[in-house]
Structure 1
């Protein structure tokens, strides 16, 4: 069964310097029917104005994944993690017992576009961890690239949850499939382009909750990028 949520149905907050879309309830956006999907708690698509961002603030017991689409993200936290992330870079922060971090657009002239994703951990009170990786376009063409995983397979960064985030790039007419194990569910989010998922056409910003299915068949009708969450 597929349950579709269109891009315009997401929560939206525009502060001028921050233009944010929320797939699930977040901050001042509250929708009791969209509190998360399994352990997937947050998908925020954010655009930060030049030089703007958030100062030091706390998190705990959450797996936080940031994926930079364009621009540059300056990050610093109290675990010693510090640096500037560029397009294709992935940041994983396991907040565990507690972490403070800041995140800013590192450019004084260009906008920053990113996804920030929160996944609830299956282990509470773990030691905080920080990690970075890079996914070149070549890693996403012709196959699924594993971004983060509860097993760390294919060199993906490890998270404290029996879940995986995968991404792929598709050209018009290209197909991609994914098999779900018994009892698993999936969440598909279209980053760019237009993709048919088991016959349902989704455009950029659209998403599908998928339950009681074992096979996913994706067919692109435009150049596209897709995020796929394989969840318990």
Structure 2
């Protein structure tokens, strides 16, 4: 399926990213045949109940993920979206970068405004006082909250199964006012994000999927590009910037 069905007047682009954009940086996906949830039981590691019942086990899993994220580096797909952000801004437009990922590779690539709908691995939150703060080190049941001093209540500031995704109002507003919706590296299996393409399509917004293989919602996209993210995303961004072209507004 061909290039982006957009006009030179395009200004605002909504990009949704999933685990597939970080896979070539060495971070595992979740629902692929060798994904994390094929090897680990999410009900034992990624729910509030799991944390209440076995916090040491949950902490060990997320400490390993945090260590892996620290060791990973942004790839060419992350860098391409930074170029897209700059190119749109130079023309008076906007990139709304919404990610399902909890890693910080978009930020480390240079993205300036990333909306993490599933939280951030490099943040922690205290269940006693509610304080959230940046956190790059390991957590344990002995970790004291810097705000209230209580031990045992510091958890990864991520959205677990059974919890509500974050920033949904801002996400809906940005999607409804965008000129193009692009999903990159997503499975199309996790709601509400999997429903974004249907919402965009109902509003008459052009849609494009970029993925290694068709997602569960591939049939709803008007256009698609399939291949490794480090190749497909830079090629798409180059084509999009060339299409909208012209001098900055």
Give me the TM-score of the superposition, normalised by structure 1: 0.30
Higher helix share: 2
Report the structure number with the largest CA radius of gyration.
2
Question: Looking at both structures, which has the greater relative contact order when contacts are Cα pairs under 8 Å and sequence separation is at least 6?
Answer: 2
Structure in which a larger fraction of residues adopt strand: 1
